[in-house]
Amino acid sequence: MKKYLILYYSKTGNSKFIAEKLSKELGCDSKKIIPVIDSLAVLFLLSLMKTGIPTNISKKEIENYSEVIIVGPVWGGLLISPLRNTLKKCIRASKNIHFAVTCETKDEEKNNKYGYAKVLNKAKGLGAKFVQTTEAFSTSLVNVDNKAWSPKRSEKIKITEENFNAVLKSRLSDFAIKIKSFEEQQINFSGNKH
Ligand SMILES: Cc1cc2nc3c(=O)[nH]c(=O)nc-3n(C[C@H](O)[C@H](O)[C@H](O)COP(=O)(O)O)c2cc1C
Which numbered atom of ligand 1 lies nearest the CA of 15? 26
pLDDT 10s digits, 77-120: 999 999 999 999 999 999 999 999 999 999 999 999 999 999 99
Residue 137 to residues 72, 80, 164, 191, Cα–Cα distance (Å): 10, 16, 11, 34
Q: What order do you get walking across the sheet with 65-73 strand by strand?
A: 29-32, 2-8, 65-73, 96-103, 131-138
Q: Are strands 96-103 and 65-73 parallel, antiparallel or unpaired?
A: parallel
pLDDT value for 174: 97
Question: Using an 8 Å Cβ cutoff, are 159 and 102 in contact?
Answer: yes
| Whole-structure pTM value | 0.94
Show the domains of the chain with their CATH numbers: 2-193 (3.40.50.360)
pLDDT value for 148: 62
Which numbered atom of ligand 1 lies nearest the CA of 114? 8
Q: Is the CB of 47 under 6 A from ligand 1?
A: no
pLDDT of residue 146 exceeding 90, the answer is: no
Q: Is the CB of 77 under 6 A from ligand 1?
A: yes
Which of 74, 146, 164 maximizes ligand 1 atoms within 8 Å of its Cβ, making it the mutation to test the pocket?
74
Mean pLDDT, the chain, whole residue set: 92
